[in-house]
Amino acid sequence: MHSNITPINEYPRFWAECFGTAPFLPTSRKEMDALGWDSCDIIIVTGDAYVDHPSFGMAIIGRLLEAQGFRVGIIAQPDWSNKNAFMQLGQPNLFFGITAGNMDSMINRYTAERRLRHDDAYTPNNEGGKRPDRAVLVYSQRCREAYKETPIVLGGIEASLRRLAHYDYWSDKIRRSVLLDAKADILLYGNAERALVDVAHRLANGESVKDLIDIRGTAVNLPAVPDHYAVVDSSRIEKPGKAYVPVNPYATEQQCEQKEEKADNTVTPITVRPAPRDAAHTVVRLPSYEKLQNDRILYAHASRVMHLETNPYSGRALVQRHGNRELWINRTAIPLSTEEMDFVFDLPYARVPHPMYGKAKIPAYEMIKTSINIMRGCFGGCSFCSITEHEGRIIQNRSKESILNELADIKQKVPGFTGTISDLGGPTANMYRLGCSDPKAEANCRRPSCVFPGICAKLNTNHQHLIDLYRDARKVDGIKKIFIASGVRYDLAIESPEYIKELVTHHVGGYLKVAPEHTEKGPLDIMMKPGMDTWYRFKEMFEQYSKEAGKKQYLIPYFISAHPGTKDEDMVNLALWLKANNYECDQVQNFYPTPMSYATAAYYSETNPLKRVKYKKREEVPSAKGERQRRLHKALLRYHDPENWPLIRKALTEMGKKQLIGDRAGCLVPEEDKDVKTPAQRRQSGRHGAKRFATKHPRQPDQRRPEHKQSGQKKNKPKKQRSRA
C-alpha cells in the first residue's frame, strides 16, 4: 500500500453512522421513514434489480458507503420516460451515483448480431425491456432534470469502458466519452471502491465536485491541461521530424561571430518542467475525438497507447481533446489490499433480492446465490475480454479466513441452501494468490499479458494457496459439495499438476468448461491465447487424474466465431477439428465488439493494435464484418446442423474446397439432399433452434437423468459429444 493512500476501511465515519445498518438499503420513502431518515446522502440509480449480494455492483457500493457512515438509497430499474421515478427518494445531500448495472446496457439488450433480446437475467422473471439503451446517458439526463444542482457520479462497467472516445458497435461509429455525453461531473472507472470513498468523503467535507480533479481511477472534464504536468504527445502516429538544413560549405567563422554579436541578450525566464519519466506529473496526449472519427488506423494507435498506460504504479494520466474541452483520465487506482478486499466482502449483505420483488425469480441471482468471489483481476489479457481494462491485471485477493466466513454466511442467509457451493472463483478459477514474483518488475511492466506468448519467467504459478483453500472449504460444517464454475486457465493449470488433480478429484461435476477459443494460430495470436498443444497437455492430465479418481468426466471446450484475425479457412479447419474429435457445438457465440478491448480496436481498424502501428507499416487483421461472413463463421461451428449445410456448401465451393463435400471420411458436410430433415423436424418439434441441445458424450448415458430412466436406452449406438461455444 502506498504510504500516502488512506485504506478504505480507515476513513473517519460520516456523522450519519448513528442510524446503524439497514436490513436492506431503502428503495422508497416508506422504507426511509422506517429507518428514521429524513433524506439520503447518496442515491444509487441502477439498471439491475436490487439484490443485496456481493456479486451485484449496487450492493457492494451501497454497503461500502453505508459502512463509511452515509445514508444510501437505491433506485432500481426506474421508469425512464420522465423524471418522477428519479425523485421518489428526494434530493440526495451529496450526489447521484449512476450505473447501468452489472452489464453494459447495449450488450444486455442486443445480441452480437444487433438483434433485440427479449429477456434480461438481471430483472425479475427474466423480463426484458426494463432498462433503456445507453442507460448511463438516460439516467444521467433524468437525474439532471430532477435536481439540476446535484452532482452526478458515473460508475459501473458501461461507464468504465466508455471513458474515452470509443468505437460503438451498435451505431458503427466513434462516440465521445460517456462523461461528456452524459454531462456528468465525474466518472469512476474500474471497481472503484477506493475512488468512490474518496469522492464521498471530500464532498461531505464541503469540497466542490469541480475541485475533484486529482483522484486516481477517475475521469473529469477540464478546460485545459494543468500547468504542472509535462505532456507526452502521442496524438499522431508518425511525427514529422525537423527539416534537415545542409551546412553551407562556404560559411566562415567570422559569419558565425557576427551572428553571435547580433543575438538578443535579454534574459528569458526558464520554465522547469518535470522529466517525462516522472509518471506522477506526466500526461500522455491521445488523438482527439475529432481525429479518430475519420482515421481507423489512428484508432488502433490510440488503443495501443491507452493499454500501455494501465499499470497502476507506472502508468501515466491520459488526456484527450473533445472539441474545446480536455477529457482528463487520472492514473489507475492502486489495487485493494487483502485487508481492504476482506472489508468489502465482509459487509452485512442480506444475500437475497429486496423483498419488494416477492416470489419473482431473478435468473442472475439464482445462478450466483451460492457462489463466492475469491479474487479480482486477470493477467491473462485475452484481447476480446474487457476484464483487464476494468478490474486490472494485478490480482486482488481475499484472505482464506474471509472466504471461509462467507461459506458460513451462506448457510445462514440463503433460503433452501442444500450444502452445495456453485462456484469458488472469480474472473478466472485459478489465479488466486498468483502474481509477479518481482515487485520492481511488476511496478514497471507494460506487457498486455503475463501468459502470452508464453508464461513470464517472473510469474509465480504455484497453486498451493488455492489447493489449501479448496481443502479447508470442504471441511466447513454443512458444506457437502463445492463446484468450480469459473473458467480454468489451463495454460496456468498445467504448471501445477497437483492443482489439476485436486480440481478433478473433488470439484468437477462431470463436465469442466475450458476455453481454447480456436485451433488456428492466426486468430489465437490476435486473441492472445495459447496454442492447441497446451490444450492437449491439459486434456491428457485431466483424463489421467479423472481415471485415477474413478470418475468419468469430460471437457467442454468453448470457441468464438468471427473473431478478428479469423479467415474463412481458419473456421473450416476448426470445423474439421470439431468433427474429427466428435464435438457438436450447442450455443455458438459470434465475436461481440465491446468498447475498449484490443479485439474491438482490431475489428474496427483491421489493424493489429498489439504491435506497433504505422500508416505504411502495420499488421493488417482480417475481420468478419458483413452479415453473410459472420453467419458463415457461426454456421461452420455448427457444421452438423442441416440448416447450415447450404451456406457451408456454397462457401466451400467458392473457396475451392469441394472435396470437403460428401460422405467420405474427412468431409465436412454431405452432398445436397432434398430429403434431409432438420433436427427439429426429426424430433417433430416446432421449436426451430430455440431449445438447447443436451450435452452428451460417446457411449455415455446422460448423467442428468435418474439411472432407472436410462435402462431402456440403446447401448450400441454412440452419441456425439456436444459442446457450447
- Tell me how far the alpha carbon of residue 631 is from its chain's centroid: 25
Query: 168: how many CB neighbours lie within 10 A of its CB?
Result: 18
The answer to whether residue 285 is domain-embedded is: no
Pair 490, 552 in one domain: no
Asked whether residue 697 carries a pLDDT value surpassing 80, the answer given is no
Report, as an integer, the average pLDDT of 556-576. Answer: 96
C-alpha–C-alpha distance, residues 558 and 179, integer Å: 35
pLDDT value of position 259 = 44
Distance between CA atoms of residues 550 and 568, nearest Å = 41
* pLDDT of the residue at 549: 96
Residue type present at position 417: F
Same domain, 483 and 600: no
Q: How far apart are CA 675 and CA 722, in angstroms?
A: 25
Q: What pLDDT does residue 448 have?
A: 94
CB 557, CB 516: distance < 8 Å? yes
472 with 484, same domain: the answer is yes
pTM for this entry: 0.88
| 176-180, 379-383, 670-674: segment of lowest average pLDDT | 670-674
- Is residue 559 predicted with pLDDT exceeding 70? yes
Average pLDDT of the chain to the nearest whole number: 90
How would DSSP label each residue in 139-166? HHHHHHHH-TTS-EEE-HHHHHTTSSSE
Residues 574 and 697 in one domain: yes
**Residues with Cβ within 8 Å of residue 44, at least 6 apart in sequence:** 25, 58, 61, 62, 72, 73, 74, 75, 96, 97, 98, 99
Last residue of a domain, one of 507, 534, 560: 507
Q: 627 by DSSP, 3-state: which?
A: helix
User: Which run of H or of E encompasses 555?
Assistant: strand 554-561
In this structure, are 438 and 515 located in the same domain? no
On whether the CB atoms of residues 489 and 427 are closer than 8 A, the answer is no
Task: Residue 690: name the closest of 119, 180, 190, 79 by CA.
Answer: 119
Percent of the chain with pLDDT over 90: 82
CA distances from residue 584 to 571, 597, 688, 721, 722 in whole angstroms, order as listed: 14, 29, 17, 6, 4
Q: Which residues are annotated as a binding site for [4Fe-4S] cluster?
A: 378, 382, 385
Cα atoms in the Cβ-side hemisphere of radius 13 Å centred on 703? 13
Q: Is residue 413, in this structure, part of any structural domain at all? A: yes
Q: What is the mean pLDDT of residues 417-423?
A: 96
- CATH for 166: 3.40.50.2300
Cα separation, 141 vs 83, whole angstroms: 9
Q: Are residues 133 and 194 in the same domain?
A: yes
The CA distance from 74 to 38, in Å, is 15
**DSSP three-state, residue 134:** coil
Mean pLDDT throughout 25-54? 98
Taking alpha carbons only, the member of 456, 370, 358 closest to residue 416 is 370
| C-alpha separations of 486 from 197, 426, 427, 529, 692 in Å | 29, 6, 7, 17, 21
Residue with cell 511488476: 442
| Residue 433, all three cell numbers | 494468490
Stretch 419-437: mean pLDDT: 96
Which string of DSSP letters, residue by residue, matches 175-189? E--HHHHHT-SEEE-
Nearest alpha carbon to residue 724 among 691, 694, 702, 700:
694
In DSSP notation, 414-458 reads STT--SEE-EEESSSSS-TT-EES-HHHHHH---S-SSSSS--TT
- Asked, for residue 284, whether it belongs to a domain, the answer is no
Calpha distance 184→327 (Å, rounded): 12
Domain that holds residue 655: 510-612+621-707+714-725
- Is 417 in contact with 370 (CB distance < 8 Å)? yes
Distance of alpha carbon 196 from alpha carbon 8, whole angstroms? 10
Over the stretch 586-612, which tens digit does the pLDDT of each residue have? 778 899 999 999 999 999 999 999 999
pLDDT of 691 > 80? The answer is no
Residue 319 lies in a domain: no
Positive or negative: CA dihedral 642, 647, 648, 650: positive
What is the Cα–Cα distance from 578 to 639, expressed in whole angstroms? 9
What is the distance between the alpha carbons of residues 612 and 20, in angstroms, rounded to a whole number? 55
- Predicted local distance difference test score (pLDDT) of residue 625: 94
Domain of 392: which CATH number?
3.30.750.210
Is-contact 597 386, C-beta < 8 A? yes
In the DSSP assignment, the letter for residue 78 is -
The Cα–Cα gap between 434 and 103 comes to 27
Cell 496456468 belongs to 492
- Is 240 a domain residue? no
Same domain, 594 and 693: yes
Confidence class for position 79, pLDDT limits 50, 70, 90? very high
> CA angle, 701 as apex, 698 and 706 as ends, to 5°?
165
Is 636 part of any domain?
A: yes
Task: Check: CB of residue 629 under 8 Å from CB of residue 645.
Answer: no
DSSP 516-542: EE-SSHHHHHHHT---HHHHHHHHHHH
Listed residue (182, 213, 236, 228) closest to 329, CA to CA? 213
Q: Please name the residue that has the C-alpha cell 433452434.
A: 689
The C-alpha cell at 66 is: 453505508
pLDDT at 265: 62
- C-beta separation of 596 from 386 below 8 A: yes
Q: How far apart (Å, rounded) are the C-alpha atoms in residues 516 and 524?
A: 9
* Residue carrying C-alpha cell 422473471: 125
Q: How far apart are the first and last CA of the chain?
A: 41
Q: Spell out the residues 6+ positions from residue 571 whose beta carbon is closer than 8 angstroms to its own.
A: 561, 632, 633, 636, 637
Q: Which of these three, 446, 475, 507, is where a domain ends?
A: 507
Tell whether 142 and 59 lie within a shared domain.
yes
Q: Give the least confident one: 140-149, 506-515, 654-663, 693-702.
A: 693-702
Per-residue pLDDT band for 278 (boundaries 50, 70, 90) equals confident
pLDDT tens-digit series, residues 230-253:
999 999 996 655 544 555 555 444
What is the pLDDT averaged over residues 461-488?
A: 97
312-342 pLDDT tens trace: 999 999 999 999 999 999 999 999 999 999 9
User: Percent of the chain scored above 70 by pLDDT?
Assistant: 87
Quote the pLDDT of residue 308: 95
Task: Please count the structural domains in the chain.
Answer: 3
In a shared domain, residues 30 and 167: yes
Binding residue positions: 378, 382, 385
Q: Collapse the DSSP code of 42 into the 3-class scheme (helix H, G, I; strand E, B; otherwise coil) and give the result.
A: strand
Better-scored residue on pLDDT, 176 or 713: 176
Q: Exposure of 266 by Cβ count < 10 A (0-12 exposed, 13-18 middle, 19+ buried)?
A: exposed
pLDDT at 683 over 70: no
Give the domain-ending residue among 472, 507, 542.
Answer: 507
Predicted pLDDT of residue 254? 47
Predicted pLDDT at 586: 75
Decide: 189 and 315 in contact? Cβ < 8 Å. Answer: no
Residue 270 inside a domain? The answer is no
Same domain, 635 and 652: yes
Distance of CA 223 to the CA centre of its chain: 31
How confident is the model over 115-121, as a mean pLDDT?
96
* Alpha carbon distance 31, 465 (integer Å): 43
Q: Are residues 591 and 672 in the same domain?
A: yes
User: Is the model's pLDDT at 532 over the cut of 70?
Assistant: yes
Would you say 29 and 36 are in contact if contact means Cβ atoms under 8 Å apart?
A: no
Task: Tell me, yes or no, whether 128 and 181 share the same domain.
Answer: yes
Q: How far apart (Å, rounded) are the C-alpha atoms in residues 167 and 276?
A: 29
Report which of 190, 183, 199, 186 is spatially closest to residue 57, judged by C-alpha positions.
190
Domain presence at residue 410: yes
3-state secondary structure of 284: strand
The CATH number for 543's domain is 3.30.750.200
Among residues 694, 683, 700, 680, the alpha carbon closest in space to that of 722 is found at: 694
